[in-house]
Structure 1
């Protein structure tokens, strides 16, 4: 990927440098994980509402000129977007973008891993909430565990490393499997990231929240872990094993928020930018992109959007504040 060292940096009102974009390429998903979207949800936006690849690339280029360095392709499930690898190739060539990653449920990863690697995707995050087929079906709406495991092996064979496993830890649902998932990731040389449920929409608020601070202390003792750092632009705080680098990350927006170091914004597939997961404030870019706006106008709109980024989320103070659900925002 090309780099640029002389671009100005986007700075929000609290002095944080915005270098990371979570880019949703679809609001659709082939699963129905309860903490992400309602199980019977069918109200997906029509494709005409989605940004085209040309529009996405133009906006990413505008962001990169102001300091954007990292882009993560998300959804919904991004591998459902037709010709996604073409978009990946275009974004990986944007001057200034030094890291292009992808989050996926891996149901389609087995057949796409090699092409994704060739297109410039450098890192993968894969959702895996259980190693038990019947529990995967209960959480996701269908038993896709064999597809996910096959996808992970294909990703390893394609040369992705490290591969990060995202596990949403839920009380009374999969908390009894955490050690088994740790052992699986250890055996496969995957980096595990345990995630607290966030109260986004009714689906998120109805999920079984589990405070991860006690889990962190227990796993630290069991595996002899110490504080560490794993490459990436995300919010996880990591524990690492010095002998071989095995790592467990903890994403704890509820029990220990990470807002002071937040360096990202999210762009939904319809061109809506969300400056914070915990706020409904947004900035609409689709009309600008389709209204022949010049580059200067796009740059000014980005600047205005970033200046609206709040200091922190209010998930604890106002758990009913966010009405949209996760898949409509971008993971």
Structure 2
């Protein structure tokens, strides 16, 4: 790896089958290593997690002091990040604590008593633990805001700023995001930092093809049924509401299709079981509500289906970004009512290079 001199990191990357860094990983390695504040905006699936993990891990000492805090907006993302960081941190002898809001707080407190060097949590849970004086922020040297566009939204901005403000003034702050927002571009105003900004949205091209299938709203489930019979069909399907998702799952199962359901109210163990089954090829579809979209990382997922068009372009980008990750080709299919001009206007803006697709003889053809 041209920019990485650390032998341990190079060995780790080799063991994980990584021979080339992505653009965001290349650009961030040196400034993150040197302690600079960073704002990095790069499309979903371009390796932003490793872009900060690789340069930060050698800086974390195995001394039982909390030195690195990663803040993530959802429980799912916390668990996903924890898995990655634990995997890469083993040779460095440091411990990683996952603090999702859905976890048992007493067990999390017990874990913190064991002097964890790296903690990863949601803003709400981190604030709860901070209020109970269980996190020693004066020891923290680096704070990472992962999916910073969400952490800087109206709903989470206050908690995020309060948490960052607990650390010493010379701490390092790193914000990574798949989309830009005003707060990111005005980062110095909110966090008393002068970050180096890397905006790679136009520089990095994600190999994803967008197509749409014109279909009446009431006929979307039947379209999903037909799409399931296309060769090698396997897709993550996003639906906006829980009630609609339940109904679609019921209809598809009535038609003898094996489908899984993922929503934000599920117990953690049930979600893990459903995700594992989908990753193992047991379902043709994984139906997910919008609230479950963030933090999903499903390797080798070729297709995403928008059963509903989300309400905002950022949601569309994040959901679409579940495929085409780390340079793999991906397909995003949107089911859209041809008689709804408002939806059409939004969709054309969000996916300007989209093309129509049709299902014939159990095959998907792009017109």
TM-score by length of 1: 0.30
TM-score by length of 2: 0.28
Query: In proportion to residue count, which structure has more helix?
Result: 2
The higher radius of gyration belongs to 2
